[in-house]
């Protein structure tokens, strides 16, 4: 019955181990969120931080609208189910479930012995905090026991019950308090396989019934896929992807997610892509087979991957490879597979093979392929068959970063363009370049970010299609016969006028950036300081002189008073006096800094005129700052930042604190 907001949450243990790095998420009311990942990925730590059992090193956690970072677990209105049940062994089941209720008091009006409401002298009912009565306890405990089917065991001790029943009691103990958020820490991993499947559906049923927010931690991807409305995949303390089960399966953000979700594991091959006309040639390393697919399937792929030289990972699930002769014959995308062994599962057979004819795939092999065949199939080791690949379901990943190169929202549009006489021409569009962009005439590659395109301007375009992804609307546009992407809305077939934000564009020639986008983050290195200042304070009607603590940022030899909430977060992140001996990056956007009479001393080196906006390039405090200006500026100036809009990053460990 509450939404959660997790912003830049970090967990760093005193010995320096980073358990959770920059966890960001918005959880809506009534969602069933699953944290999944291999052991040691930080999922349980994250859950325990939400529960309040583990301190949050940095970041902000809200339940409902309240920041709960420093709140005791009991005040957060959450309930938790533990992997090992954690029942109170000396109490019977009734007492176990009722314990949490007995600990709490609720506000009520005071009543006398006859049940009449006691009023004060103003006639208002007197408020009292009282414990639940026996009857109320009974009602709640029996209600919860009813839901979980453990009414018959209420007088038993936990040791007399089986694992499944104990876990039910643990669930009962959690739901009886009607918490805002239910936290479940691998609740099923101690149960046997059959019971686990049964409890899985029971927990989902419980979620539907209770209509409250569930956060569920598991290392089992099947549990995650079947239970969660959204899944958070984590690895080594970093969030890999937050998405619905369907999107995780169909559009994994990186190779790890692709391999982690789905059984058998996705097949990965190294290979290259080469664009020739309207087709793309897919080559698999180690195999002679070449597969050709239409370019239309890969429009979102950045052109640098389509040169036929750059190595990429090609991912195909076992379901997307078939050796059914009917499908192989009709398919234009086939590959030769040498079969090594099979695993018969009854309804289907898992066939293990290799696309490299010189290998077998009994051991680990980079060219191993696992595919599914219907029913029982007999193959002998060494058979070579043709397998059809469903290339429309292909996943492509960068060989170095392992990130998907088929992004759902492409970052840039790649276009060829020409600059002549201070005007930029691309896709039949001609735009006058502002003064800030100076470059020699010639042919360039234009990188136009998808978020640099906005509705309202004179660039004519037609919306081809529109899709909703990650809470944003992505439109496919036709500009002068070129396909482009933009983060705008619209109906297919609609004609729109667009404007381009030219400070975000990149012009590239021979792999070198000739024009780079203007940085949108100004970073200044500084420290944090405490001063004891004498101040006159009114206290009890008298003016008193008292010493007050004042915290400030020290940058470029100047002190800026730090807002109290920022100072508190910095203290929370770095305990003790460490905060005063640490260097920080203080960051502002160009819109949150201003040139004024007072502030860090600097010198204007250049004024960038982007037509609609002007920015001053200022050298100050050892960094180059871009600051939005309105009037003309030059020479020596002072820069004053907006202290309420600051972001703070710890310099050495690169941890975002605010």
d(CA 286, CA 543): 84
**SS3 sequence, 184-241?**
EECCCCCCCHHHHHHHHHHHHHHHHHHCCEEEEEECCHHHHHHHCCEEEEEECCEEEE
To other proteins, the closest distance from the beta carbon of 50 in angstroms equals: 11
If residue 293 lies in a helix (H) or strand (E), which one and from where to where? strand 290-294
To other proteins, the closest distance from the beta carbon of 527 in angstroms equals: 26
Write the DSSP symbol of residue 77. Answer: T
Report residue 395: phi and psi, to 5°.
-115, 135
d(CA 644, CA 657): 14
To other proteins, the closest distance from the beta carbon of 187 in angstroms equals: 11
Which of 85/214 has CB closer to other proteins? Answer: 85
Which of 75/120 has CB closer to other proteins? Answer: 75
To other proteins, the closest distance from the beta carbon of 215 in angstroms equals: 13
To other proteins, the closest distance from the beta carbon of 86 in angstroms equals: 4
Neighbours of 563 (CB within 10 A): 15
Picking from 283, 284, 235, the residue whose alpha carbon sits closest to that of residue 258 is 235
d(CA 200, CA 215): 14
To other proteins, the closest distance from the beta carbon of 90 in angstroms equals: 4
Picking from 186, 205, 188, the residue whose alpha carbon sits closest to that of residue 196 is 188
d(CA 496, CA 461): 5
Indicate the burial class of 576 (C-beta count within 10 angstroms; 0-12, 13-18, 19 or more): exposed
Binding site for other proteins (CB under 8 A): 51-53, 72-74, 78-80, 82-90, 99-100, 103-104, 157-161, 163, 166, 173, 177, 190
C-alpha distances in Å from residue 421, one per residue of 416, 444, 446, 457, 513: 17, 14, 17, 22, 20
d(CA 336, CA 339): 10
Note whether 483 and 299 are within 8 A (CB).
Answer: yes
To other proteins, the closest distance from the beta carbon of 582 in angstroms equals: 21
d(CA 548, CA 62): 30
Which of 200/283 has CB closer to other proteins? Answer: 200
Residue with tokens 């007088």: 155
To other proteins, the closest distance from the beta carbon of 189 in angstroms equals: 9
To other proteins, the closest distance from the beta carbon of 39 in angstroms equals: 17
């Amino acid at each position: 019955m509450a939404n959660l907001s997790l912003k830049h949450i970090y967990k760093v243990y005193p010995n320096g181990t980073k358990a959770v790095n920059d966890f960001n998420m918005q959880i809506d009311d009534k969602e069933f969120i699953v944290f999944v990942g291999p052991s040691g990925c930080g999922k349980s730590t994250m859950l325990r931080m939400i529960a309040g059992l583990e301190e949050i090193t940095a970041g902000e956690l809200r339940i409902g609208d309240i920041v709960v970072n420093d709140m005791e677990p009991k005040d957060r209105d959450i309930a938790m189910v533990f992997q090992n049940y954690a029942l109170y062994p000396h109490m019977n089941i009734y007492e176990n479930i009722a314990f949490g209720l007995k600990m709490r008091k609720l506000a009520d009006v005071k009543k006398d012995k006859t049940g009449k409401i006691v009023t004060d002298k103003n006639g208002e009912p007197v408020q009292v905090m009282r414990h639940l009565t026996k009857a109320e306890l009974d009602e709640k405990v029996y209600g919860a026991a009813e839901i979980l089917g453990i009414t018959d065991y209420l007088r038993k001790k936990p040791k007399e019950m089986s694992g499944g029943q104990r876990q039910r009691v643990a669930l009962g103990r959690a739901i009886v308090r009607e918490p805002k958020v239910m936290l479940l820490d691998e609740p099923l991993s101690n149960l046997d396989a059959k019971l686990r499947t049964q409890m899985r559906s029971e927990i989902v049923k419980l979620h539907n019934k209770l209509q409250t927010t569930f956060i569920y931690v598991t290392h089992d991807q099947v549990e995650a896929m079947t239970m969660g409305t959204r899944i958070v995949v984590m690895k080594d303390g970093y969030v890999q992807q937050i998405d619905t089960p369907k999107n995780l399966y169909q559009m994994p953000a990186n190779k790890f997610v692709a391999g982690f979700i789905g059984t058998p594991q996705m097949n990965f091959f190294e290979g290259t892509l080469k664009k020739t006309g309207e087709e793309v040639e897919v080559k698999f390393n180690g195999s002679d087979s070449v597969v050709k697919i239409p370019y239309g399937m890969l429009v979102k792929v950045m052109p640098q991957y389509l040169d036929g030289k750059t190595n990429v990972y090609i991912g195909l699930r076992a379901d997307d490879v078939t050796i059914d002769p009917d499908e192989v014959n009709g398919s234009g995308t086939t590959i030769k597979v040498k079969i090594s062994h099979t695993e018969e599962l009854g309804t289907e057979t898992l066939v293990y093979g290799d696309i490299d004819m010189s290998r077998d795939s009994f051991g680990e092999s980079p060219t191993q392929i696992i595919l599914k065949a219907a029913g029982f199939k007999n193959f002998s080791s060494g058979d070579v068959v043709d397998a059809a690949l469903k290339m429309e379901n292909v996943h492509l990943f960068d060989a170095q970063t392992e990130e998907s190169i088929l992004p759902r929202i492409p970052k840039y549009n790649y276009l060829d363009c020409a600059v002549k006489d201070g005007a930029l021409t691309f896709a039949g569009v001609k735009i006058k370049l502002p003064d800030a962009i100076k470059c020699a005439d010639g042919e360039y590659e234009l990188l136009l970010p998808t978020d640099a395109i906005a509705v309202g301007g004179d660039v004519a375009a037609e919306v081809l299609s529109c899709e909703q992804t990650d809470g944003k609307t992505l439109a496919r546009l036709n500009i002068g016969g070129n396909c482009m992407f933009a983060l705008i809305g619209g109906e297919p077939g609609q004609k729109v006028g667009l404007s381009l934000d030219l400070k975000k564009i990149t012009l590239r020639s021979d792999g070198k950036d000739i024009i780079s986008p203007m940085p949108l983050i100004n970073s200044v290195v500084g420290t944090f300081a405490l001063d004891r200042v004498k101040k006159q304070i009114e206290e009890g009607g008298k003016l008193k002189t008292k010493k007050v603590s004042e915290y400030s940022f020290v940058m470029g030899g100047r002190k800026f008073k730090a807002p109290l909430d920022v100072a508190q977060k910095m203290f929370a992140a770095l305990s003790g006096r460490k905060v005063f001996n640490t260097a920080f990056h203080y960051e502002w956007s160009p819109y949150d800094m201003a040139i004024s009479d007072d502030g860090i001393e600097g010198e204007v080196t250049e004024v960038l005129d982007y037509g609609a906006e002007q920015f001053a390039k200022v050298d100050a405090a050892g960094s180059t700052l871009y600051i939005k200006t309105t009037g003309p500026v030059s020479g020596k100036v002072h820069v004053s930042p907006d202290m309420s809009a600051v972001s703070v990053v710890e310099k050495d460990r690169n941890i975002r604190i605010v």
